[in-house]
């Protein structure tokens, strides 16, 4: 994908945060905004939560949260909130969007 000049956005919704840990140039815990920010604070713009990764052309919306905290947060909030936030990504900004979901999402 990158060899073809495509841009990729990785959205890490998995509380294990492996995508964030692997792709972020810094410790994701040191970032101001993450995917959880979009759940807790809908006033934050999604582009404020997206960071450059260690690979040119790859961007990351990181996750920093424990599984239990995420489940509680999602239970308390409208389940469509993340989808509404993701819909705010400007069309054409990224060629490919990959979403890393927790294995038990929806169960």
Res 45 pLDDT > 90: no
What is the pLDDT, as a whole number, of residue 89? Answer: 84
Q: Name the residue ranges covered by the structural domains of the chain.
A: 2-100
Residue 82 C-alpha from the chain's centroid? 10
Q: Tell me: the pLDDT tens digits for 23-44?
A: 998 887 788 888 878 777 878 8
The structure's pTM equals 0.80
Residue 55 in tokens: 């690979």
Options 3.40.1010.10, 3.40.50.720, 3.40.50.300, 3.30.460.10; CATH for 2-100 is 3.40.50.300
| 66-85 pLDDT per residue, tens | 555 666 566 555 557 777 77
E-assigned strand segments in 28-95: 51-52, 58-61
- DSSP assignment letter at 80: T
Give 49-68 pLDDT, tens digit per residue: 999 999 999 999 998 765 55
Residue 61: predicted pLDDT: 93
> Could you give the CA distance from residue 67 to residue 54 in angstroms, rounded to a whole number?
25
């Amino acid at each position: 994908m990158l060899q073809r000049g495509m841009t990729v956005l990785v959205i890490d919704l998995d509380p294990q945060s492996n995508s964030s840990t692997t792709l972020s140039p810094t410790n994701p815990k040191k970032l101001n905004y993450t995917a959880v920010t979009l759940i807790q604070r809908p006033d934050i713009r999604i582009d404020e939560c997206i960071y450059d990764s260690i690979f040119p052309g790859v961007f990351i919306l990181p996750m920093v949260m424990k599984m239990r905290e995420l489940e509680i947060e999602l239970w308390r909030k409208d389940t469509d909130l993340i989808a509404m936030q993701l819909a705010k990504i400007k069309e054409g900004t990224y060629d490919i969007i990959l979403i890393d979901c927790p294995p038990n999402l929806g169960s």
